[in-house]
Amino acid sequence: MGADGLETEVDRQSLGRNGTIDAMRPSEVAPEGDPSATPKGTRIRSATRAVRMPELLLGMGPKRWRRFIGGLILALGGAAAVTAIVNSINQPRPFVIAALGFLVPITAATYIGGRWAGLLCAATSFACLVYFYSNPVRGWAWPRHVEDYVALGVFLIVAALLSNALSRERAARSVSEVAQRRLTFLATANEIIARTALDLDKTLHELANVTVPSIADFCVVNIVNHDRMIQTMAVASGPPVRPALAENLMHQPRIDQSSDNAVARVVRTGKAMLFRSVNDSVLSSVARTSDHLALLRGLKVRSLMIVPLPARGGILGAMTLGSVRSGRRYSDEELTLAGDLAVRAATALENVRLYEERDRAAQALQRSLLPSRLPEIPGAEIAARFQPFTEADLIGGDFYDVFEVAPHSWALVIGDVMGKGSEAAALTGLARHTIRAASLSLSSPAEILGVLNKAILKNAEDRYATATVVRLDLLEGRARAVVASGGHPSPIVLRASGEVEEVGGSGMLLGVFEDAKRADASTELIPGDALVLYTDGLLDERQARPELRLLSIVSEGRGLNAVELADRIETTATRADVVYDDRAVLVVRLLKQKAS
């Protein structure tokens, strides 16, 4: 790295428990052409450097210099003005008037230009007072009496103390304002990132957008993907950067973590990098290709910093912030602020990733609890729908199953177990496998539910479930359905004529009473008839008799095929503003025989 490129590395181990960077390590100037050669330095005393933060948050680089020069002009001009005014007073030595008059430009110069401007004004004012202690003809001469020197010394001490006190007050106020702006910025950033807490792409784009223009003219967020490659995921830019150039930053090739690229090194080591000023060797260390290097040159980057996104499981990626304005040069305080933002953003990103992993695991578990696909039943069509209570409850308590138990005989099962999540998944697995196993030796749905009831009492203490088992026997041109329920809503038969009826009773809950009695009920089905099994999530509990509304909805599905009827039941029955539970529906419809 050349003499213009200063780099700072922040040891990831210095990240404090409160999520802030406890210490910065400013580097010396690295050897020419070697951006990686960065010796470690000493800690920065942030309290003495904090007054530089307005350069970051308020854009006061050039403005600070203009204020200082203005203070110098006021220091000299104010002293001269007071001298001219007092000189016009018709007194030989108006010391008190002059001394009070000179305190006015000293105060103004300190407020505008800072401590040094105030001290310069105090020295100039002292020289003018010496002039007034001269001889009566206003000629230049040093005072001749000791008390005159004492008076001048008192004035000089008072002026210096006043200038220093005003400067300290102004610096303390500046530090307080900067700290308040910093906290406001981080709080706003947290709020914006939290709005997209469960969407990775939106969170990344919000992270990039929140930095522009507050602390950067452009921001690039890189994330380590599942292939362990570093990939650009979000870019944001402000007015100094042409939109076309910013768009090209988004479409850069992926890089390996082991490469010599500066971003890869930050991800690999977990140490931030600060380039106070940027030259061509710095751009070469950041660029991924020759086209990328030409793009960075076109941006005319003046200052750059790259901060890692640290998480508990490692580094998630890195955030690159650049300045293209002549008055914005990043310092260690800006790096601290970017590090604080990166820690907060990484926490949000890690939560998003954990949610997505949980989402994938829940979906996989839910798929394992439901048939991967419904079997084909000769002479009938079948459809099923399932929807968890909320998107967060991907592992629901409802389940269904369809399987063949004998030639021309099929078992239809639907149920609802207590609770949600892993415990519900365990009970669902127990129910499905128990029913399948019992169906191999038992033909009565009531007896099958009796076996399931004993299994729940034995293996799932303080848990219960409801279920309906239907044995569907396909006969010549018709079918016979034998139904038994254990605390579950009774199945509905939709006749080809549009009439509806319930089959069997609800029975006793499963897993509550060991000696509960259940009985089979049967009905005949002809082509065009449909059998609807459902869970109580489809019932609108705000109705006095929600079953009547569902019967009406099913009745209006006359003439629909199994898929259309299942869709209608799911969408219409859950049209209410409040959904209370998981929803599942299973529809079997006998096909009409085609005329030969």
SS3 87: helix
Q: How far apart are CA 402 and CA 412, in angstroms?
A: 5
pLDDT value of residue 57: 39
pLDDT reported for residue 579? 53
pLDDT at 49: 36
- Sheet holding 25-26: strands in order across? 25-26, 8-10, 272-275, 303-311, 314-323, 218-224, 229-237, 255-256
Residue type, 126: F
pTM more than 0.75: no
The dihedral over CA atoms of 55, 61, 67, 73, expressed in degrees to the nearest 10, equals 150
Question: Could you identify the residue written with the tokens 């019932």?
Answer: 539
Beta strands at 380-387 and 255-256: parallel, antiparallel or unpaired:
unpaired
Report, in this order, helix, strand and coil percent for the chain, each rounded to 5: 45, 20, 35
pLDDT at 364: 74
108 Cβ neighbours under 8 A, 6+ residues apart? 74, 78
3-state secondary structure of 520: coil
* Per-residue pLDDT, 62: 55
The pair of structure tokens assigned to 394 is 């991907």
pLDDT tens-place values along the chain, 596 residues long: 443 444 444 443 333 333 333 333 333 333 333 444 433 332 323 333 333 433 433 344 455 666 667 767 766 777 777 767 766 665 555 566 666 677 777 777 776 777 677 777 777 777 776 766 655 554 555 556 566 566 666 666 776 777 677 777 777 777 777 677 777 777 777 777 777 666 777 878 888 888 888 888 899 999 998 888 999 988 988 877 777 777 788 888 999 988 999 999 999 999 999 998 899 999 999 999 998 998 888 888 889 999 999 988 789 999 999 988 756 788 888 888 888 888 888 888 888 777 777 777 767 776 777 888 899 999 999 999 988 765 555 566 788 999 999 999 999 999 998 877 777 788 888 899 999 999 999 999 999 999 999 999 988 777 889 999 999 999 888 999 999 999 999 999 999 999 999 998 888 899 888 888 889 999 999 999 999 999 988 876 666 677 888 898 899 999 899 999 999 988 887 654 455 567 899 999 999 866 54
The full 3-state SS of 156-192, as one line of letters, equals: HHHHHHHHHHHHHHHHHHHHHHHHHHHHHHHHHHHHH
**Cβ neighbours of residue 213 closer than 8 Å, sequence gap 6 or more:** 238, 239
| Two tokens, residue 215 | 């602390």
State both tokens at 108.
């103004």
Tell the residue number behind the tokens 């079953």, with chain if given.
Answer: 547
pLDDT at position 382 is 95
* CA distances to 40, 155, 157, 174, 492 from 161, in Å: 39, 10, 6, 20, 93
